[in-house]
Structure 1
Amino acid sequence: MSSKRPIIVSGMRPTGRLHLGHLHGALANWVKLQDDNECFYFSADWHALTTNYHDTSVIKQAEREMFVDFIAAGIDPSRSTLFIQSRVKQHAELNLLLGMITPLGWLERSPTYKEQRENITDRDLALYGFLGYPVLMTADIILYKATRVPVGVDQVPHLELSREIVRKFNFHYGEVFPEPQPLLTAAPKILGTDGRKMSKSYGNTIDLGESAESTQKKIMGMVTDPARKRRQDPGNPDVCGVFYLHKVTSDAETVAWVDQNCRTAGIGCVDCKKKLLERLLPQQEEMRARREALLAKPKDLDDIVQLGNEKARAAAEANMVQVRAAMKLE
């Protein structure tokens, strides 16, 4: 990989099997970014501890499943660096140093901090690690001198905080880090089987490479337009999760056909779902086959991640040498 290419850094918390929401919301874009950028994609296992510190026993297996889905979805380990956050200790070192200059008020105004403190009530989140997660996130990004970070519009405020931390660091110690810019990605809306956003926490997901039988059962049972009571009633595809899946799965001609015939009662919901399955089932089968091939060779997967850890560690240490020198720490 050429160091002259723009550097992209992004990660996911290891939560196990990924689903269609992950594929169309992030992974499909990550695959495209490999063509023109130097990409670092990682398992954010330390970040997982900020809200799931009470049960760490599931992280390693979840991480393996996640890496399998990364590669099955098209992330190429020969073109992108896949690694585990906690295996690159420089993330922790830079996190510590950035924490020394980050004002408490900057962290307390984070919208995610406020939102999750209100919504997650089954465990104590009044913790140093949870409050300071944006500092670790900043360290993750700038440790590799990333210039662009793929984010949705709702994540732009988080990246602005990272840029503020970078500006303060550079003011005190010299121009060490570039300010990472948002690479806005128009993530398509993916609704789950119950009509809400597809999410593991809602139990409404369709996993990548899920079996044909299970996928078909879930699709045929999906919630559609709740106002459409009878087959002859016109429907509104704009509120239907099946239609959103059509938009990321079917071709433009099929999407237009479904849109028009739903609104005019030319087709029923069963017809719409069957049309979706014509495209979705072969895609799921291809993904399932790739997943099984990867799972059948666990050592190969371990080697891929180990090599990625080494590549990430080398890049991180080269930049930390500059950081320590700028801060007169060595």
Structure 2
Amino acid sequence: MKERILTGDRTTGKLHIGHYIGSLRNRVMLQEQYETFVLLADVQALTTHYDQPELIRTHLREVALDYMAVGIDPEKSTIFVQSMIPEIAELTVLYSMFVTVNLLRHNPTVKAESKSGSLDEMYYGFLGYPVSQAADITFCKATIVPAGDDQLPHLELTRKIVRKFNELYKPILLEPRVRLSEVPRLVGTDGHVKMSKSVGNAIALNSSTEEIAFKIRRATTDPARVHKNDPGHPDVCPIYAYHQAFRADGADEIRDGCTKGTMGCAACKGQLTIALEELIAPMRERRSSYETNPKLVDEILIRGTRRARAIAQDTMQEVREAMGLNYFDI
């Protein structure tokens, strides 16, 4: 049997080229080698959008369309909805019984959200986010989790939970290992912070030709380069980072022309615009074929969720037996 992979995204908005280069491209390749489960994490989206459930409902389908647009094949990958697997919530509760608050509050993500060091304004759901992630990974007994280095603390907690459970009860859970992404995060078109739709510095995967050109044309470049022939500093320019990510074969030429002042920013941006259009155009076409058939999208999500639910029920039965919680059948 193939090893299982668990991956996915919070459904907080359309995905962008940063997601593509950081994880989506890799998922398309991995689905050929592994049994792949792709999570639409709508419950975890509630940790920051609990007061906007209607947006999460919309974004869930947007993210699903993005998945299929980039080439995640529902015949090869199981795409499923987190909130429709109640066993994930049940596992989260059971795991939380032996995870200390102190361990959670020292999680780097939690610390970043609570810069003052106080948990007074921290919601319980956000504090327990890593425990929920552990349930996501273990319900299907995934052994591989592709992730960036920012997710390493979460995944180490999952490994601790698995070891603790197996020691306390019965060795039925599998300890996952991390497949670390080697691609650095893309800075946004503003050149200041990571690419994010909420900040407005992202290029969405369903962007039109005009939107791509507009975003790149307005993108920040080397602030020290005032005139076309001034020598540039590509390492501080987000456009050069995009060249490295999306047209690596031509990146050396861009670096040479920039540092020597023989290539202006307009020409550099023009080449990148062409490359991004070539990347996104087939995604738009695939996405359009699904958008025009919403019933098919629902069927894909229902089928994937039913498959994931069946596996979750089997795992939950093992967990209940291990913990002695299988009192009687009802």
For normalisation by structure 1, the TM-score amounts to 0.94
Please report how far the alpha carbon of residue 201 of structure 1 lies from its aligned counterpart in structure 2 after TM superposition.
Answer: 2.5
| Residue of structure 1 equivalent to 2:47 | 50
How many residues matched?
Answer: 323
Structure 1 match to 2:60:
63
Give the equivalent residue in structure 1 for 2:271. 275
> Which residue type is aligned with residue 25 of structure 1?
G
Task: Name the residue aligned to 1:259.
Answer: 255
Q: Is 1:250 matched up with 2:267?
A: no
Whichever residue aligns with residue 178 of structure 1, its letter is L
Q: Which one-letter code corresponds to 2:134 in the other structure? A: T
**Selected match of 1:167 from 145, 159, 163:** 163
Equivalent pair of 2:13/2:197 in contact (CA under 8 Å): no
Give runs of aligned pairs for residues 1-16 of structure 1, distance below 5 A: 4-16=1-13
Amino acid in the other structure paired with 2:158: S
Contact kept? 1:189, 1:244, Cα under 8 Å: no
Q: What is the match of residue 234 of structure 1?
A: 231
In structure 1, distance between residues paired with 2:121 and 2:197: 20
1:138 maps to which of 134, 149, 163: 134
Tell whether 2:205 aligns with 1:208: yes
Q: Which runs of 4+ in 1 moved over 3 A?
A: none
Deviations 1:216-260 (A, max 9, x none): 1111111111111111111111111111111122141x1111111
* Secondary structure of residue in 1 paired with 2:13: coil
Q: Is 73-82 or 279-288 further displaced after alignment? A: 279-288
CA RMSD for the aligned pairs?
1.5
Question: Is 1:178–2:174 an aligned residue pair?
Answer: yes
The aligned amino acid for 1:16 is G
Give 3-state SS (helix, strand or coil) of 1:194's partner: coil
Partner Cα separation in structure 2 for residue 205 and residue 129 of structure 1? 27
2:124 to 101, 124, 128: 128
Residue in structure 2 matched with residue 17 of structure 1 by the alignment: 14
Cα displacement (A) at 1:159? 0.8
Opposite residue 9 of structure 1, the aligned amino acid is: L
Q: Distance in 2 between matches of 1:189 and 1:228?
A: 24
Residue 209 of structure 1 contacts residue 286 of structure 1 at CA under 8 Å; is this kept in 2? no
- Secondary structure of 1:146's counterpart equals coil
Q: Distance in 1 between matches of 2:132 and 2:277?
A: 39
Instruction: Give, in angstroms, the shift of residue 276 of structure 1.
Output: 1.2
Consecutive unaligned residues of structure 1, counting only runs of 5 or more, are none
* 3-state SS of paired residue (1:150): strand
Cα offsets for 1:271-297 (capped at 9, x unmatched): 101111222212222211111111000
Read off the aligned partner of 1:259 and give its amino acid letter: R
* Contact 1:51–1:125 (CA under 8 A) maintained in structure 2: no
Tell whether the 8 Å contact from 2:232 to 2:261 is kept in structure 1 after alignment: yes
Within the candidate set 282, 295, 301, 1:299 is matched to 295
Tell me the equivalent position of 2:319. 323
Native 8 Å contact 1:235 1:262 kept in 2: yes
AA aligned opposite 1:6:
E
Aligned to 1:313: 309
Q: Which runs of 5+ in 2 are unaligned?
A: none
Question: Which stretch of structure 1 is more off in the superposition, 279-288 or 168-177?
Answer: 279-288
What is the CA-CA distance between 1:125 and the residue it aligns to?
4.3
- Contact in 2 for aligned 1:50/1:129 (Cα 8 Å): yes
The residue type equivalent to 2:227 in the other structure is R
Q: Give a deviation string over 1:2-43, Cα, whole Å, max 9, x none.
A: xx1111101211122111111111111111110111111011
Give aligned-pair identity as a percent.
Answer: 43
Match of 1:158 in 2: 154
**Which residue in the other structure is 1:85 paired with?**
82
